[in-house]
């Protein structure tokens, strides 16, 4: 018999999380027709259903549920370029940082917000990895003079003071509609864009972003899930950028951590 990395109710939990997202928006926590670009992306508590998925995976892997932290005062990590950052979920067990999650959603306003979201996700990872390289998540941060930087930590996050870096994950839940799926023209006044971006939709751009965040080792996993307006269903554009892949990777790391207890 083959053991499953994910809990039996994984698919139901993810569908319920998407349902919670749309229900939260429709109940008035975010006015979808307001045209407010920030609320269209951030959405307050709309993504909280995915916290239940994290808890279920952590428990399934044999770690205590109280290792999952979601309270605002408990999801703060020190940074390198800034003092602190609040993440959406942290997994901390026996004073070891195991997991870090950031959730984003976008409904409408695709052109106004894609670049902002890209800059945020890249910058947050850069800040975390350099801080980790300097010992920020394992006791007292080291003086910069104590850290030997033979190569840039930002580009080589495996070169860390702790050989077991935290699992860093980013999830984008994107409205599936005509505007997010149609081709988008790129401005190229001086130099050509990379070919894969030419005429790519915003959904395709997010997929490329997720793939490259992992390829360049800025994130352990990154997922893009498309959900039709107001529906509980969701889908990925590729297995590599699916929420199932992200949580399977996460489960593998959590099982390793539990085995090491």
Q: What averages of pLDDT result for each successive group of 10 residues across the chain (261 residues)? A: 80 96 75 42 72 96 95 93 95 94 91 89 94 80 62 54 83 94 90 90 95 94 96 95 97 90 63
Calpha distance 55→40 (Å, rounded): 26
Domain ranges of the chain: 10-259
Q: Which residue, chain included where needed, has tokens 């902002």?
A: 116
- pLDDT of the residue at 25: 83
Which runs of consecutive H residues, i.e. helices, occur in the chain?
10-24, 37-41, 49-60, 110-133, 178-181, 202-215, 243-259
- Burial (CB count <10 Å: 0-12, 13-18, 19+), residue 131: buried
- pLDDT of the residue at 1: 41
Which runs of consecutive H residues, i.e. helices, occur in 76-229?
110-133, 178-181, 202-215
**DSSP letter (8 states) at residue 235:** B
pLDDT in tens, 117-158: 999 999 999 999 988 888 888 766 666 666 665 555 555 555
Which among 173, 128, 175, 184 is positioned nearest to 154, based on CA atoms? Answer: 128
- pLDDT of the residue at 100: 98
- pLDDT of the residue at 10: 96
Tokens of 93: 């067990």
- pLDDT of the residue at 164: 77
**DSSP letter (8 states) at residue 25:** I
Which among 87, 70, 55, 111 is positioned nearest to 250, based on CA atoms? Answer: 55
- pLDDT of the residue at 179: 92
Q: Which residue, chain included where needed, has tokens 């307001």?
A: 34
89 phi/psi in degrees, rounded to 5:
-145, 135
Calpha distance 228→216 (Å, rounded): 30
Tokens of 90: 């942290």
Tokens of 127: 């800040």
**DSSP letter (8 states) at residue 84:** E
Which among 12, 129, 35 is positioned nearest to 80, based on CA atoms? Answer: 129
Contact (Cβ atoms closer than 8 angstroms) between residue 141 and residue 79: no
pTM for the full predicted model: 0.87
- pLDDT of the residue at 40: 45
Contact (Cβ atoms closer than 8 angstroms) between residue 202 and residue 111: yes
Tokens of 144: 């910069």
At how many degrees (to 10) do helices 243-259 and 49-60 cross?
40
- pLDDT of the residue at 188: 87
């Amino acid at each position: 018999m083959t053991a499953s990395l994910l809990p039996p109710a994984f698919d139901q939990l993810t569908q319920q999380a998407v349902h919670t997202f749309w229900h939260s928006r429709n109940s008035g926590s975010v006015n979808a027709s307001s045209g407010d670009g920030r609320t269209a992306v951030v959405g307050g508590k709309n993504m909280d259903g995915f916290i239940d998925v994290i808890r279920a995976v952590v428990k399934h892997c044999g770690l205590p549920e109280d290792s999952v932290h979601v309270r605002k005062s408990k999801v703060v990590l020190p940074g390198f370029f800034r003092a602190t950052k609040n993440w959406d979920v942290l997994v901390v067990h026996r004073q070891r940082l195991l997991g870090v999650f950031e959730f984003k959603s976008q409904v409408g306003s695709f052109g106004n917000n894609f670049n902002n979201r890209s800059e945020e996700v890249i910058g947050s990872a850069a800040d975390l990895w350099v801080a980790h390289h300097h010992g920020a998540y394992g006791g007292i941060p080291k003086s910069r003079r104590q850290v030997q930087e033979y190569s840039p930590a930002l580009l080589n996050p495996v070169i860390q003071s702790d050989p077991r870096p935290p699992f860093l994950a980013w999830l984008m839940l994107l409205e599936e509609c005509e505007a997010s799926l149609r081709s988008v023209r790129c401005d190229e006044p001086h130099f050509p864009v990379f070919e894969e971006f030419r005429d790519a939709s915003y959904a395709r751009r997010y997929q490329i972003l997720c793939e490259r965040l992992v390829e360049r080792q800025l994130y352990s996993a990154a997922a893009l899930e498309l959900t039709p307006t107001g529906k509980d269903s969701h889908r990925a554009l590729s297995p590599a950028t699916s929420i199932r892949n992200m949580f399977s990777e996460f489960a593998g790391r959590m099982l390793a951590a539990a085995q090491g207890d």
